[in-house]
Structure 1
């Protein structure tokens, strides 16, 4: 009960505080009702209040000296738009026969609205209460529930045990409060005969279980905050027609439509009257809020809206303490121009030196980039491109700074792969596009020629199944190539590596074979200048997210002049895929790619590596093992178990026949890639030619032996080199490319 009583003491204090405010009303209007001052726009008689609507019309009970808003007693109000009133509560009381005495509370706030500073509160055991408000044309209901079977122990806690509360919507003008109980018995009635529901300003009610559950009925009213404002337009909308007086400002209401008025800084009074805001004399006022802060020997001088601190002659004001201090004697400043001139001259000379150094550094950088450009084959690239015919692709030249930024300074976390010829990084260009950047290793001029050759070859190719060259960078110490980024690894990874899984169905494998064959056929027959890849293998077939094949790595490729069918060149390739005829003769033609493709097709069918020294002698080389199985009608031993399960025996056997034909020992007995692509495409769409199977005779096993010198290298992914002029075999063992 003491907590509830404290609420009314706070209300009385608020009333007492209101008396200290120097209120202002219209001339001839009543300025006080009991202990509450009456200030415009409020008033108690016609002509004394803001007459746009009657919400500002208050009533003074001369008998009790109490001020009322409707039937609710006014505690106080502020110019900023708050009106505090006392409001009754709803209750429901029960006797032993469970006959209830129920009082609901229903009120209308006219044009004023509830503040969100209020809380809807219910007190009682096994009590539920709800509140219905009306906002414009909508109804809104809220409520809370409290339970208990004995008197709670803890004071000041209103969280559901004997007491509960919830927030209420602001801007509502009318509300109904009801309270009720459930599951009541005699034991509860002994210490809590009634259930209560009421609105109360937040922080103005503290629950005391031992008192409030028994005696709260004796306290009938609680303080509630209402929001008020002038009209329903903003300050901008009303402009100069607002009722705000001189030396005041118009402020849009933050709680409802309309506006409120406020005296400017340095003024006090009623901002709603024409001359209500008067200058505050900070030099004489006793108010601690508005009193001046001049200190020491400084003198306060009142000004309109503010004050000044002044000092007598010979003293000056200290801006920090607002006190006076003696002026210092003038200091001889004749040396300042000399010092300033010397400093400026020194800085100018220093700036010139820095500019010259930067210019020299820039020129040295340009010269170094030119040197790298020539060293990395820039001149050769220009010469070869000018002599190779028109290019189908514009090769963009990237800067060194751009490459560093794209790879985060060639960070190790960006490395996609490494091989004997260099490192591939994942790069992110300024437009957020992702690319693959190949950084070649430092080496001799032959490696530079291979690099330029790859740029040259790719500049002639425009095909959806060839990795697209975006550009290159030649002004770095080692040359860089920038490709489109393919994000799903290589065909080798899918068949034999860490990415191997069951998602590679026969349909996928056949489509990939068709795409590779079509690409090689394009290179051999449809490119502006025929191109021989010279290193076709599963590690050089990239796959995108849709498992679309992308042929890559053209550094060993060769352009075949239109008047020649073959070239004599140093042997390049990878063991297991290398054409034995090309290896032995050094004569390169398109049938070398056909052989390598046949090995790739065998890998797609069998899921086995092209060359594996860990296997028994008869299955070490996939070409021999596959051809023997085909001849002896035991193809099922070689074909990947997953592919065999898909019940495509006819297509598998036909694809195996094509693979064997592609790997015949003599190049003239192999089909052209154009024919291979057509047969595989027909097989894919179910139109395999019946006469195709008789085009080439059944192969003999010894026709596919690749030669002792090739197998002598003890490595699974070795790269072979052969110079046909010196007739010397060279083996470079490296980790596959």
Structure 2
């Protein structure tokens, strides 16, 4: 051929780019395929490419030494978010009347999109070409016409005679290219029977009437530019979760969703790796792009991210060409000394004033922290925590600076959740331990009282199913509480929220209900001072990685003096869980927690929310809906389908009966939490005994299990058991760890 056109130019471009920037991949990953560098986030094996985008996995054909993404050959990868591929030409050939050969390509790019640096080109006489692209669910078409009165003579021009081209917009992920002819001049078409249509990177194709009109089929592929980016978040949305490494900056993609990374000025390397970009030594590098421009007698001094040109003593730097020129002795040397002395004196005064201001500011900050500490009840809290009793001696008092460092300045990406009593952040302490930090709402003085109340309540509790309070910070305008970090979300999340797809079996739900009931029984009966939680709900029950329940959020709780059975308080709680008797009278007692627990137990059984306004009228309030189903013997209609099976119907009916008893309208008709815990614990014990009995068929196995004694029923004696089998289970609730 007279010339090789695009392929030759692409080979030169790819080789030059490879020599300019050294390929950098993950350790022990393939770095080259032929002349193409393979750089992270791309790679040839699963651990070598960015895990969020599977099409970043490339394939190297060891036989041909060619690199592919899918069935597209890759010739270059750019850090700036560009991928260059080779794309075949679409063409149609005719004889005098019919099509003899025709090939068109319908291409889907998956994670890549077409760049606007490409040109859609058609070659042939009396032909037209059309490219249909798709962006999202919308389709667009573009094309051009090439007309000839005779065979074109001018080289390099693609202006509509023998060759036409048009620009391409970016963003499309699918495109179809087709070409056809006009029956305008048969003599011209007969001499040039084939018509071509193709995408090509701008500047990579020069039209020549001969041999292009006749032999373009010999050049089967042209370079095409694709755009790529990381994920579908902006840099702001990604925050510190972006993969951009050290000495690099995150830039929002200008052509598609997602972001790209770029080395800072004066640095080079792969900005997508954790170690990021390294300083360029402009003084020693052989690269003409980065080499210094110091000239003459000036010496290059490398600095981090840049360089300086230095001159020897007696010379000044000429900033025009970075050369050195000899200093001229000032005409008034004495005035220079006076000016320097005055300047130094002025700077010394400024420094002294600045130091004094810093000390005053530090003193004001110290006094302000002391003020906040006392305002937030710090003195009373220290006195209570240091007093006699069974207080939690591990409660620490953290500093304001420590809390800022732990939450990275209360960064938005660290927020775990927000509720009526404040915002919860994920914190990392200096010893690398992960904690949850709860911050009251700014300007709400009632929340401050609730936070101090939560510290005082939790200081009386030492139980394995209560989220552990590690400490607090009172030096800020609003107090902060520091808890152990529970990493598997809330019971609400597992039943109704973002984690509801994770299946909770009946065994899980029964064990969780036993743990919650045992915890509330401990708070009511076994704590040093009886405690009423006052806001029991699925959103206040955390689950750890083993799905162990942890009761949380004691901001609304109350300590009950030993000489009182109930308190008169302002009504507080959550609709759907709120005890109707407490709501009507304002009298708070332990039966209020029993009612709320009954609602939680119904949620565990049905998988439905306590109060859902989207439901039909008869099922908006779970308690009424559940009680009606029990009364009308249609419990199976409300139990979640994945919970009930043939082997557990008796346990579920018994648990449902307990839930209905807990939610009776009158508090005196409800059982105590200690009795509820015993009955639920007995369900688990009975299930274990039944399984062992089926396995061994030995009655002796069932006599004594985990310290539970089965006694004959003796009327209504306050210890509740199974009504259906006329037995009662007596258990001793653990009083903490």
Q: For this structure pair, what is the TM-score category when the shorter chain's length is used for normalisation? A: 0.3 to 0.5
> Which TM-score applies when normalising by structure 1?
0.47
